[in-house]
Amino acid sequence: MAEKFDIQEHKLIPKHTKLSDDEAQKLLEQYNVSLRQLPKILKSDPALKNFDIKPGDVIKIERESPTIGKVNFFRVVINA
């Protein structure tokens, strides 16, 4: 067992990126929702291992949808 495998490269995991506070605010305004209404992601989620995050941050997930191609999905970080 040499270097540890980076699970971010697993094909089941879409690309996760953290939104800046401004971007997050824009997103909430665009969809007219509050943070509470967004789908959640746990702070301890393995896909966010190398991220510097705190509860309340918004994570952008670039999904590959079988029907409409690339699609952005958003989740808000919560404490486990």
Partner 1 sequence: MAVDEALIKEYKGRLPEPLLKIFKTYADEVGLSKANQKKAIQQVEHKFLASKIHPGEAIGIVTAESFGEPGTQMTLRTFHFAGVAEANITLGLPRLIEIFDARKDISTPIMEIFLKKQPKDERELEKIIASIKEIKFAEVIESITINIAKMQIEVVLNKKRMKDLEITSEALRRGLGVTLKTVDIVDKDDLLVMKPKVKELTLPSLYSIKEKIKEAPVKGIEGIKQVLPVKRNDEVLLISAGTNLKKVLEIDVVDGTRTLSNDIFEIAKVLGIEAARNAIIREVSRVLHDQGLEIDDRHIMFVSDLMTTTGAVKGVTRSGITGEKESVLARASFETPIVHLINASMVGEVDRLNSVVENVLINQPIPLGTGLPGLVTKMKGDEKDEQ
Q: Please report, as ranges, the residues that interact with partner 1 according to CB under 8 A.
A: 1-2, 4-5, 7, 9-14, 16, 39-42, 45-48, 61, 63, 65-70, 75, 78
Helix-strand-coil percent breakdown of the chain, rounded to 5? 25, 30, 45
CB 56, min distance to partner 1, A: 13
Q: How far is the CB of 70 from partner 1 (least distance, A)?
A: 6
Phi, psi of 19 (to 5 degrees): -85, 145
Shortest reach from residue 20's CB to partner 1, in Å: 20
How far is residue 64's CA from residue 34's CA, in Å, rounded to a whole number? 25
Classify 78 as helix, strand or coil.
strand
